[in-house]
Amino acid sequence: MSDLPRKAVTRTVKLAALPLGFAGRATWGLGKRIVGGSAELVARELQQRTAEQLFRTLGELKGGAMKFGQALSVFESALPEEVAGPYRAALTKLQDAAPPLPAGTVHQVLAERLGPDWRELFSEFEDKPAAAASIGQVHRAVWHDGREVAVKVQYPGAGEALLSDLKQLSRFAGLLGPLVPGMEIKPLITELRDRIAEELDYALEAESQRVHAEAFAGDPDVVVPDVVHQVDQVLVTEWLEGVALSEVIADGTQQERDRAGQLLARFLFSGPARTGLLHADTHPGNFRLVTDEDGRMRLGVLDFGTVDRLPGGLPGPIGRSLRMTLDGDAEGVYGHLCAEGFVKDSVELDPDAVLDYLKPIIEPAAVEEFTFTREWIRGQAARIADPRSPAHQLGRMINLPPSYLLIHRVTLSTIGVLCQLGATVRLREELEEWLPDFSPKP
């Protein structure tokens, strides 16, 4: 019954064609150069064609392919401008859009999950999806009690598709690596694969969303729509009106960008403290800028399918390490990193070199307010990616303990979005309020 391309052989053929396409375009580019084409123009056209094929394929397949594309899209701001230009439009399309399932398939899923009389639960139901993502799509509707709701319907065969895609993508992770300098693609794919079961479990997602909705009820800065109804593969939540963060990135005023950035940083650090959960799917399609009747802008948060469980909030060692780095305590931060497993027992590093490595990364926390830009994050990416750089060599010797993997990715993703926004943010203010052990002791 599924309209999602889910047969392993079909999906494998589509994904396997990607590296072949890359190689073919490289040969074509060489040919153009031989006959006198401008190197710059040839490179730009080659990047454009590569972007179009890569993200068209990822978007068509949905599943793990699109999930990977969305995870990659938030790092677009780290790409060098000559590469980012052709890729930016294709990446942005993945952030909150994908080819929809036909209405007949959606109706069949709803009849199976909600019962043959499913229409009686709704006063209205729009067949055309309002949004489509990696494992499901959302329809706007009116619940039988008059509330406007979002009906999230999981694609039939989504689990099989996710596993198949990510397995195939991991096989040519090395070819995808150059898309984002300094980022390890294979660990990203592994982590996405490890969280498939959680992502597919709408009961778990509903519980995470309820916890957030209760914690942020009446909050002046963050709004989380409550859960209305949930059954296997169908999740009904309150409808949230607002401007998608991807639209703010594309066309927002500076005031909107700064406000969205500040609230995104606030949610990143306050969420775990208030709920014991870390929202771990930080791409612009999951956030809205909601303007209240009094003109106040709040951050609307959607999609709680992937969370990290942090009962005590963010780990105290993060705040302590960050504070020691800001204070210039090389010996202290190095000893702390060793104790927490960031430096393996078999490795010995120069504490001053470690401090020099960390200081540029934490620059946004060293000042009262910081403007996140694409230029800044590109500089960080280039510093870490260049094999000749001391930062690159030292970075290869620093270990990331498994318990920090998701926190690390969410933090990097959030910084990527802040750079896409070009937002000026009072980050230190949020750290002092919400990050355990960061504030200096009196």
On whether both 48 and 192 belong to a single domain, the answer is: yes
In a domain, 406, yes or no: yes
Residue predicted with more confidence, 122 or 283: 122
* 414 close to 245: Cβ distance less than 8 angstroms: no
Two tokens at 203? 């009961």
pLDDT for the residue 408: 87
Looking at 172, 200, 228, the residue that finishes a domain is 200
Range with the poorest average pLDDT among 2-11, 57-66, 170-179, 200-209? 2-11
- CA torsion sign, 54 to 94 to 275 to 145? negative
On whether both 170 and 292 belong to a single domain, the answer is: no
In a domain, 223, yes or no: no
Interatomic CA distance for residues 217 and 213, integer angstroms:
6
Prediction pTM value: 0.79
Highest mean pLDDT out of 1-15, 48-62, 76-90, 394-408: 394-408
Alpha helices in 195-253 (DSSP H): 196-200, 202-215, 245-251
On whether both 365 and 315 belong to a single domain, the answer is: yes
On whether both 119 and 255 belong to a single domain, the answer is: no
Q: What string of DSSP letters covers 64-100?
A: HHHHHHHHHHTTGGGS-HHHHHHHHHHHHHTTS--PP
pLDDT for the residue 1: 36
Collapsing DSSP to helix, strand or coil, 396 comes out as coil
> Residue 209's closest CA among 145, 281, 141, 148?
281
pLDDT for the residue 258: 98
Interatomic CA distance for residues 440 and 264, integer angstroms:
24
In a domain, 207, yes or no: no
* 237 close to 227: Cβ distance less than 8 angstroms: yes
On whether both 11 and 149 belong to a single domain, the answer is: yes
Residue 216 per-residue DSSP state: T
Bridging pattern class, strands 287-291 and 131-132? unpaired
Residue predicted with more confidence, 115 or 187: 115
**Alpha-carbon separation of residue 374 from 263, 284, 330, 395 (angstroms):** 19, 16, 29, 21
Residue range of the domain that includes 185: 1-200
On the CB side of 99, CA atoms within 13 Å amount to 13
In a domain, 319, yes or no: yes
Count of C-beta atoms within a 10 Å radius of residue 23:
11
**Helix, strand, coil percentages, rounded to 5, for the chain:** 55, 10, 30
pLDDT for the residue 231: 95
The position carrying tokens 């999230």 is 152
Count of C-beta atoms within a 10 Å radius of residue 103:
14
On whether both 247 and 192 belong to a single domain, the answer is: no
On whether both 173 and 275 belong to a single domain, the answer is: no
Two tokens at 14? 């589509």
In a domain, 212, yes or no: no
Count of helices and strands (H, E) across the chain? 20, 14
Residue predicted with more confidence, 55 or 286: 286
What are the pLDDT digits (tens) for 98-137? Answer: 567 789 999 999 999 999 999 999 999 999 999 876 678 8
On whether both 312 and 380 belong to a single domain, the answer is: yes
pLDDT for the residue 91: 52
Bridging pattern class, strands 297-301 and 222-223? parallel
Average pLDDT, integer, range 403-419: 89
What are the pLDDT digits (tens) for 329-356? Answer: 999 999 999 999 999 888 899 999 999 9
On whether both 138 and 262 belong to a single domain, the answer is: no
Number of domains in the chain: 2
pLDDT for the residue 405: 81
pLDDT for the residue 284: 87
In a domain, 313, yes or no: yes
Interatomic CA distance for residues 234 and 137, integer angstroms:
10
pLDDT for the residue 392: 79
Q: Give the pLDDT band (50/70/90) at residue 402.
A: confident
In a domain, 399, yes or no: yes
What are the pLDDT digits (tens) for 49-76? Answer: 555 555 555 545 455 555 566 555 555 5
Range with the poorest average pLDDT among 59-73, 200-214, 369-383? 59-73
Q: Inter-axis angle of helices 351-358 and 330-339, to 10 degrees?
A: 90
Q: What string of DSSP letters covers 288-341?
A: EEEE-TTS-EEEEE---SSEEE-TTSS-HHHHHHHHHHHTT-HHHHHHHHHHTT
Highest mean pLDDT out of 223-232, 344-353, 396-405: 223-232
On whether both 190 and 303 belong to a single domain, the answer is: no
On whether both 246 and 320 belong to a single domain, the answer is: yes
Which residues carry out catalysis? Answer: 281
* 381 close to 338: Cβ distance less than 8 angstroms: no
What are the pLDDT digits (tens) for 242-257? Answer: 999 989 999 999 999 9
In a domain, 345, yes or no: yes
Given phi > 0 = left and psi -120 to 50 = alpha, else beta, which region is 295? left
On whether both 42 and 188 belong to a single domain, the answer is: yes
